[in-house]
Structure 1
Amino acid sequence: MAALVVVVALAGGAAFLRVRDPLAFPGDHEVDVYAVNDGVSTQVSEPPNLFGRLLGRCDADTYYATDGDRHLCLVLNGPLGRVRASRDDGRVKVAKDQIARLQAMAAQDTGTPAPTTTLVLMSGGPAALIPVAGLSDGAAVSVPALG
């Protein structure tokens, strides 16, 4: 009986993670794409307090993410749409057949004074930063996964 409870608990936990962060599992998954609001997003010297980190936020309207040694508080506009992506060996990859979709999303008017320079893939939280300038027709994108 105890073994059954453990199996059910593990399966429930895996299902929760799959729904919360599909990029935690192998293969391609549909993820939301947002634009970084460059004018108000910031880099901070240290992570937010424990409560803020548990919520995945720097404050009420920002998302916390680490990009290497950088601590980021990201204000996002969107969602702009969805693309297929995968995570492998600490990198998030978007296939070349999805690049035109990313370019079109980057060109959308998000209500900010200037066009965005960076797109964010969201998968249970910020999963990857994709520089708009790095999007070129016919080339896949591979960027470091955010922490």
Structure 2
Amino acid sequence: MTARYLEDFKVGERFRSASLTVSEADILHFAHLYDPQPIHNDKAVAKTGLFGDIVASGFQTCALSFKLFFETGIIAACNLGAPAVDEIRFLKPLRVGDTLQVEVEVIEARPSSKPGRGVLVLKYRTMNQTGEIMASMIIPHIVRRRPA
């Protein structure tokens, strides 16, 4: 893929990632390391809870969403980091066997006050295998501008 810079992105432009199926082992491993709540790592407790089985941490959904988009290569050459993740919404739980895909929309692209940088604001929508939106978030990425 050709390297993209701030100037190459247009408001309203959308991108789709590849898909990824989440296993029980994936959910348990993430929960063990980062979010050890019983709804994520204890099947017996989770069966009596709100979702009737273990579900992934919302933070795992966010991490997978970013991973899927980053692996498209669209911002690989220009991304310098992100100072925030805004407006995170968990609309449906991520369950064992769900297949995720991410659609990312450019909602703002503007130069930064710092030379050679810009701000690329992207809205992430994470969908399951039936197209239902499971999560959404807005990330303002700091990106490189096209070299002079």
| TM-score when normalising by structure 1 | 0.26
Greater RCO structure (CA 8 Å; 6+ sep):
2
